[in-house]
Structure 1
Amino acid sequence: MPEYGPRPVDRQLPTQEARDLLALVRELVQREIRPPASEDERAARFPRETCTLLSGSGLLGLPYSQEYGGGDQPYEVYLQVLEELAAARLTVGMGTSVHTLSCHALAHFGSKQQRADHLPAMLGGGLLGAYCLSEPASGSDAASLSTRATRDGDDWILEGTKAWITHGGVADFYTVFARTAEEGARGITAFLVPGDAAGLGAAAPERKMGLQGSPTAQVHFDGVRVSDTRRLGDEGQGFTIALSALESGRLGIAACAVGVAQAALDEAVAYTRGREQFGRPVADFQGLRFMLADMATQIEAGRALYLTAARLRDGGHPFGREAAMAKLFCTDAAMRVTTDAVQLLGGYGYTMDFPVERYLREAKVLQILEGTNQIQRMVIARHLTGPESDRGIRRT
């Protein structure tokens, strides 16, 4: 089958440093990530070497302080890097987003000593992180988690199971949210747990419809002992920390969704320009041209939405509503665009000879993780009208 390369996105970046960074990312993508992506996903190969390369290149710590080995890049730039990585291989783009999410609690709520002790290795020392909030019986209702941390002198003992953990079983550190007091959001505390801690184990990876190269697994804590020096923030502050991380993480997922959608559009445009039916390229048929136009419009709208939210964040303004909107719109758009890309390629789109079938399978999970799109609608509505309980409406 013929191969068609993507067309570079014409980006508006704030500095020459940012333009140089995107050029470096594109070179790395073309050389290291895109060529083996389809084969590696079919073989369910986790790209640990690529993660190490990204870390050594400074790409796993872009939005964090240079003082601790980060890149000091604004979210506006970091998210566009994520988009480029996800367009090449979502396993890599989403993995970078999850790693960044896993560093958030320490970078923003850890003490200066904790940051000095741990952040340099996490941001540029080859380590890979995982974020442990969800549980088998606690997904969207994160405040009801049951994993427990019990004080034992200067240590904490963790017991419980986390579920749907990206990098579960392969991560070098886990940001874990556990219950330290009675039920409710105020009883949750955050901990930084080493990946080789005694009593920490992972189940076999989930068998997923997409993202086979990205391990997703339950993580078990069987009497895991963690020093109080690895408690992040105050006791009972964990739920606030978790939500703060997720607001930023949702922007990462939005950018990844736009990357997948852009890759699908590029493939569809190239195919329709090269495929002839009835003596002319199928791209000449108005019905197909209109589909491509709609796909491109959704992508540009999604990109503008996540960049607007990122610029609010960079300016120190509230951005939670806009982050929820970006995650909702961009992931729904990715699902529509990838579905249309398969349709535009016809029978070929349904085969593994072209990557659009993989993009379609990957787009689906983006509507689910880091808060389903139904949860995003609840978040947006609360910003508009206030909490449901304020109006006597039963919470669901």
Structure 2
Amino acid sequence: MTVQDWLPKNKTDRKIIHLDMDAFYASVEELKNPQLKQKALVVAHDPRKNNGHGVITTSNYRARKYGVFSAMPATKAIENIPKNELVFVKPDFKTYRKVSKQIHCIFQEVTDLVETVAFDEAYLDVTQNKLGTDKTTIDLASYLQQRILKETGLTCSVGISYNKFLAKLGSEYAKPFGRTIILPEMATEFLKDYPINQFPGVGKKTLMRLHEHDIYTHEDLITVNIHDFLRDFKRAGYDLLQRAFGIDLRPVKANRLRKSYGKESTFLEPIHTKTKAKRMLKLYCDEIQNQLTTENLKAQTVVFKIRDSQFNTATRRQTLAQAQDQSTYFYQVACQLLDEFDTELTVGVRLLGVSVTNILDFEIQSMSLPLFQTR
């Protein structure tokens, strides 16, 4: 049996776009200050002002010509880039997040099947789309690029294929502001010359192990001894072999807003005092607020849950006048609801919980479109 005989049947009837913004953070900074386009721009804290610390978030293409890329120590930019060209700009994640929301609104005009990878990157399954059956995948990709450019002034690159793996390779191949399509009949030829170290999931350690097995090229990989290879690389090796044959069955998973966020605990020793109960409620509300802040969300309804030592369970809810992301508001409401349960405290409380619902993405709600506009 050949290696391919061990692999699942390929699925080639999907139409998937991988869209990746070009030097996203740096490009946003250049829109804010066009003079930066003439400089080697590095988005990071200046290590000369930060005790030598700092990691590069991203860099513009001018800086990349000097070998300066994201995730490198910021000191590398000082070493590689001439002083008269180098400019450091502190990351402005609030603005990046806002622009990202605007771009994702454009995605939703094309399809509901949008899987966000990062602020600047997403997969779109456009097998069924909202713009019409007469639109080809290339039409849809072009529409996305042009709409994003018109409304934000930013460029992006897209890869088009029948699965996520090849679509991502396509967007990387075309940068910047490019478009690559990889059809099923083109996949083998495209992958033949593609460096193994650039396959997603192949880092330095995995590459070293592949070299130890005399695997350096795509041809080496697809002709391995399947038994030895799977014994040594296990599931990761099986996935890598699938990719080498252009197989990736992973679906595009649409990002869904969670319906609620909450925290509850069951106590071994029942609680009998409001002081201790309120102390627990404060911890829960702080944790909920941290979750909402991390995901840039607000909530409008607070739900309180209590169970006494006789296993009687009750819930109460209260909707706030405005959506909030502050634990203070949640805590005040939870304490008010707790005050209704004096009898349960006398018997002993075995479980307390707080959750919030009616979740809103407040940055989309407050955003004024377009954030940037080009003529």
Category of TM-score, reference length = shorter chain: under 0.3
Q: Return the structure number with greater helix share.
A: 1
Q: Taking structure 2 as the reference length, what is the TM-score of the superposition?
A: 0.27
Could you say which structure has the larger radius of gyration? 2
